[in-house]
Structure 1
Amino acid sequence: METVTKSFDVLVVGNGVLGLSLGLTMARRGQQVAVLGEAHRPYAATTAAGAMLGCFGEVTAATLASESGRAKLELDFQATGKWDTWIADLAEDAGEEAADAVRTATGTIVLHNTIGVPEIDDAGMAAIRQAMDLYGAPYEQIAPETLDWLDPQPTARPLDALHIPGEHGVNSGALLAGLQQALVRRGGTMIAQSARKVLTTASGALRGVELADGTALMGDHVVLAAGVGSQKLLDTVPQAAAGIPRIVSGLGVSALLSTGHCAAPAPTSVVRTPNRAFACGLHLVPRGASTVYVGATNTMRPHPGDLPTVRGLQFLLDCVVRQLRRDLWFSGIAKVQVGNRPVSLDGFPLLGETQLEGLWTMTGTYRDGLHMSPLLAEKMTEWILDRKVPAELELFRPVRAPLSVMSREETIRYAVVHRLATGHEWDWSLPVEWPGVMEELFELSYRQHADDIATDFTPPPDLLAFVPAFPELGTMLKEYYAAVRGSFG
């Protein structure tokens, strides 16, 4: 028999950075809000995140080429301007000590090094400059040799570097702790259980959620902000899930390394390369006086995972010591982390109300969820409570035509080049003609898979590239396109 314990104005499913941020803004508005999720946050993205507050550092050549790419960049830009106030307000709600622990890096250095592929890195650096010029954002070109901490192997030396003074980094663990403390102080409720089912009435109206122990919680609104875990909840209400791109995992491996033995103190800024090899570039974020965060890898998988792969960890650490600092070879590994970025099947966020009134999604943010969290919490709160549809989020409603940034030919080319870029980052040693042969084979493979999936829709290149390794991704894409073809084809 169902046991109902309590009713709330808003139930937020997911206790990562998006769920906690939304819960906090709701509590500040006087709502009775509960945030649900297991304390150890299985499969979360936030707990393994480098937490770069990157807007322009994430720009690629494809970003400005489409409406959806430009709309997402606009969200990132607006979010950048929210963080100073967000941290100041956190200090008021959670205490100065909690807020002071959040920010760990000031500014960002983007490196253009010899490991990069011209079609990706040269174009990426140019796109970053173009985007900053478009928005009037300050930046400075600097000589890499002036970066005292940088000491890569000579074959990975940087050719150029950009300093972006307005893009910082935070400690994701300290941020989560501060948000949770602030939420509770504001009268919000933390429930250390996961939700396993969305509950509806006999007539199909929203009631609330059922917890893992069978307890039912009632809510006027339910917001699915559980990252990749949101998909299981959507699957319990097929009438709401129809037409929404499924959420899959962009599994990443990161590590915390000791730097006490290094000949130079750790940098005070984020250090990164442009986005490449299907990931957000190689990056390092300081975490105190003698620890640095390094990340990250990205493997698209149909389902989340919780264990680092040998391949992923070896690739990451090899890139770090060769491209950033050689004496990190002797570092102690303080922690290895695994995170699951929530990626929708069209690669863009799922923000807004589903076809079931009162059931909302706030996920699918891929690499940008933490950075955009203050902005999304504010906009989603206004949308839910004031019924004001934010113009910035309109394009990313969960029920929509598949969004795209590239033509089929561009998508295939992107997937091929980024796959080859992974090999260059591995420092592969091959006969000179072999990469050309491999390029032709990758192109043939990706074209065949794209044609097999659909002729009228093309998956994002990040997903297409992993279909050969994970055929279930291809099946998911086929089923999604079949479901929306009648409405949006």
Structure 2
Amino acid sequence: MAIDTADQNTTYDAVIVGNGGLGLSLGLVLARRGMRVAVVGESTRPFAASVAAGAMNGCFGEVTPTLLRSEYGRRKLAMDVRAAARWDDWERLLVEESDESRIRSANGTVVILNTIGVPGIDTAGYASIRQALHDYKEPYEDLDPEDVEWLAPEPKSRPLKAMFIPGEHAVDTPALLRGLTTAFGRQGGTLIDSHVSGLRLEGNRVTGVDLRTGGSLSSDTVVLAAGAASHDLLAGVDAEIRDRIPSLVSGSGVSLLVRTENGLIPDSVIRTPNRAFACGLHVVPRGDGVVYLGATNEILPRPCATAAIGEINLLLSGIRQLRADLVDGHIEKINVGNRPVPLDGYPLLGEAGVDGLWMMTGTYRDGLHQSPMLAEEMAARILGDAYDTDLDVFTPVRPPLQSLSREETLEVAVLHTMAVGVEHDWHLPEDLPPLIEEQFRRSFEQKLAEMESDFIPPPELLFFVEPEIESALRRYYDAYRNG
């Protein structure tokens, strides 16, 4: 149920800040366990990642060479695999508890390797996906690209290889959010259409939250699941604790809902490997002649609510890689979302250095896919039940998790930077790209030197770094400079 918060001063067993896929999922699991739970967030979700997500059940399709190279990346893949195994039961129960007839869409995923990407990213990414499928003994099938139904790119963008992963579907995001909202209410949960302005603290213990609309909510358990805005809510926490938690920047992304002229849509997800600091080009069937086309990724210091023309142009230019006659379709909606990206690139899961305060955010591109698993894992921690200690490495108060060496970070940053130009279909004299590449390498080396730290940011933060992000990195690194 929803309540008017203008004069509310109510006590709950748990207050969850954030009404996206993660926050609602945790709220639902706790409500099922008999807790009195409030989920707080503006009903319009103005900056959320969930509302703009293509929501692929992307597990193996998201694998990259750098992911497999890193211990923490391999742990993240293991989380994705565990989450994938939860979705059948999660969807079944959610359908029973709500008015939705289905939550997931798409019959598997087709991964294509086409002529647009660069070998060091796309070809290597395609090989890494296959390696991960082999390692986990996940079924897949090689396809002749000519036999992939619906796919009809222009000749210069034709696919060279294709494989079908039958176990990777997609989530119908609007249906998921409606279903979670309905099920949460029917389990006795309370939805509060407001914005949390700050935490209520007594010493080193949280006692609730203040609401921008007036009043407050009391609880000795508060979970920050507000995406990219979560770290801002730590403003009242002692700086010695707050600065040891990686703050969050926004992976701002733009996607389009397109109605095809002939009403034809694919049966499956069709996607490229991840490329150029983003999640690869992908099309997701949404039904009734509509497809989701996504998605861009730009690291910004704060969430953004509007779509840059350049981001839209990049998506529109990508149409040629999928189906040439999509240019005759019609844009029904432009989505803008903000993925929560911690300064070291890994999620923030667990207690946040203050008694009763928890964080469940920083999942970057994995939040919706991991939501059933993370909701159950976080609920177990909150309730004092047995839980998977493998996730403890992602505790919020932590030194930076380092995936790559300085040299590896530089090479990945330069490689993806140059790939951005290829994806934008740049046309340059042959002698210019090597010169541009060398300039970027020198620029990135200078940025690392100026930070004066042994810690290395993820490659995408090195590419998008600007004064506010650089200041946040310095503050976080300085908190651990002396061990």
TM-score (norm 1): 0.96
Q: What do the CA deviations read for 1:143-171 (whole angstroms, capped 9, x no partner)?
A: 10001311111111100011000000111
Matches within 5 A, 1:4-403: 5-95=9-99, 98-100=100-102, 102-201=103-202, 203-239=203-239, 240-261=241-262, 265-319=264-318, 321-386=319-384, 388-403=386-401
Q: Distance in 2 between matches of 1:455 and 1:210?
A: 37
Q: What do the CA deviations read for 1:328-364 (whole angstroms, capped 9, x no partner)?
A: 1111100001000000000000000011010000000
Alpha-carbon offset, residue 387 of structure 1 = 5.2
Q: Distance in 2 between matches of 1:148 and 1:342?
A: 35
The aligned amino acid for 1:482 is D
Q: Give me the identity figure in percent.
A: 51
Task: Determine helix, strand or coil for the equivalent of 2:480.
Answer: helix
Q: Distance in 2 between matches of 1:473 and 1:224?
A: 21
CA contact (8 A) 1:383 1:390 kept: no
Q: Distance in 2 between matches of 1:169 and 1:409?
A: 36
CA contact (8 A) 1:272 1:281 kept: yes
Please state if 1:444 is matched with 2:442: yes
Alpha-carbon offset, residue 452 of structure 1 = 1.1
Alpha-carbon offset, residue 376 of structure 1 = 0.1
Q: What do the CA deviations read for 1:249-276 (whole angstroms, capped 9, x no partner)?
A: 00000000011426xx211111100000
Q: Distance in 2 between matches of 1:148 and 1:12?
A: 43
CA contact (8 A) 1:351 1:360 kept: yes
CA contact (8 A) 2:150 2:266 kept: yes
Q: Distance in 2 between matches of 1:238 and 1:48?
A: 34
The aligned amino acid for 1:289 is D
Distance 1:407 1:311, change over 3 A: same
TM-score (norm 2): 0.97
Please state if 1:485 is matched with 2:451: no
The aligned amino acid for 1:405 is S
Structure 1, unmatched stretches of 5+, are none
Q: Distance in 1 between matches of 2:193 and 2:8?
A: 16
Q: Distance in 2 between matches of 1:392 and 1:172?
A: 29
Alpha-carbon offset, residue 4 of structure 1 = 6.0
For structure 1, which segment, 3-12 or 178-187, has the greater mean C-alpha deviation from structure 2 after superposition? 3-12
Q: Distance in 2 between matches of 1:267 and 1:26?
A: 37
Task: Determine helix, strand or coil for the equivalent of 2:191.
Answer: strand
The aligned amino acid for 2:213 is D
CA contact (8 A) 1:245 1:480 kept: yes
Alpha-carbon offset, residue 197 of structure 1 = 0.5
